[in-house]
Amino acid sequence: MSATTAASAPVLTSTPIALPPPSSFARRFAHNPTAMVSLILLTLIVLVAVFAPYLAPHDPARSSLRNILKPPSAMYLLGSDDLGRDVLSRLIFASRLSLVASVQAVAIALGIGLPLGLISGYVGGWVDTIIMRFNDALMSFPALILAVVIVGLLGPSLTNAMTAIGLVYAPRIMRVVRASTLSVRQEVYITAARATGCGDARIIMRHVLPNVTGPLVVQATVLMGQALLAEAGLSFLGLGVQPPEASWGAILGTAFPYMAQSPVPTIAAGLVISVTVLCFNLIGDGIRDSVGRMRRAGD
């Protein structure tokens, strides 16, 4: 082989494709006005949840039989519920449970779907077939119906509801991770890592996992909103948060029977849920678009 041929031959390295720097991603994300507004709104909602004891005008658990189903006033800005409790204070405190519940559900989904997706995509063969057939079986059921069945078996509670939602959403995480892993394992640096003697566990942790985080973050962000909506649905049906605790869905379920007499609590709870879910979805879209533009630009 001549020196010219040797010089032109590609050289395999074990260095993975560098991920775009955080500053580049932040710059592109900041140029998406919809995503930025959603991020600001979601940040405000989180701050309201953190500082709930200082922002709530009343004790959310304190009832007053003389103030049942009161309309909005200077004393009760969003009115009172069927037990005379301040709706605004309950919504503020309920934000804690609703947001934490969403994080719990997505954490469970990630804990199950991420390792199984990595193993399925990287190992392939009969392992991939078994995992994906089980995954397909779970995804063939409607998510909320399957969650209701699981909660019915485990018993109604917030923990059981979030466990059920996490189990239901794990197959979605698994599919995203598997698809990304199948793409990454064909890269030259994976072949180079094997050639240098790296074990499968090291290759997965150092080379595969960092390169599937982009799609994973987008999916997790969107699932946060869907988990919040699913928790609201289960709590609305009485299968999630149990009294005296309250989430946005539980407040909606309590106020709905009295919507004809006092519509404001129902509208307020539904609006808060809708805005928060929309913020999660738009932030996820913003992250996806920013990552996509960086890849096309080669940043």
Q: Where is 84: in which H helix or E strand?
A: none
> Is the predicted pLDDT of residue 48 greater than 80, yes or no?
yes
Read off the pLDDT band of 6 (50, 70, 90).
very low
SS3 state at 189: helix
Whether residue 293 is predicted with pLDDT greater than 60 in this model: the reply is: no
Cα–Cα distance measured from residue 34 to residue 186, given in angstroms and rounded to the nearest whole number: 35
Specify the higher pLDDT residue, 43 or 3: 43
Per-residue pLDDT, averaged over 11-29, amounts to: 55
pLDDT over threshold 50, residue 2: no
Q: Identify the CA nearest to 289 among candidates 234, 221, 198, 200.
A: 221
In angstroms, the Cα distances linking 288 to 27, 248, 275, 285 are: 14, 28, 20, 5
**H-assigned helices in 31-157:** 33-50, 52-55, 87-123, 125-139, 143-154
pLDDT at 13: 37
The phi and psi torsions of 3 (rounded to 5 degrees) equal: -65, -35
> What integer is the mean pLDDT of 205-223?
86
Reported residue count of the chain is 299
Query: What residues pair up with 80 in beta bridges, in sequence order?
Result: 86
pLDDT of residue 14: 37
* Alpha carbons 239 and 123: distance in angstroms, whole number: 39
> In the chain, what are the domain boundaries?
51-56+80-297
Residue-level pLDDT at 242: 84
C-alpha 149: how far from chain center: 21
Specify whether the CB–CB gap between 178 and 121 falls below 8 A: yes
Q: Where residue 204 falls among pLDDT bands split at 50, 70, 90? A: confident
Residue 80 φ then ψ, to 5°:
-125, 160
Q: Looking at per-residue confidence, does 151 or 20 come out higher?
A: 151
If pLDDT is split at 50, 70 and 90, which confidence band does 12 have?
A: very low
What value does the mean pLDDT take over residues 251-262? 90
Alpha carbon distance 76, 86 (integer Å): 6
R_g of the chain, CA atoms, integer Å: 24
- The C-alpha atoms of residue 224 and residue 107 are separated, in whole angstroms, by 10
Fold of 51-56+80-297: MetI-like fold (1.10.3720)
Q: What is the mean pLDDT of the chain?
A: 84
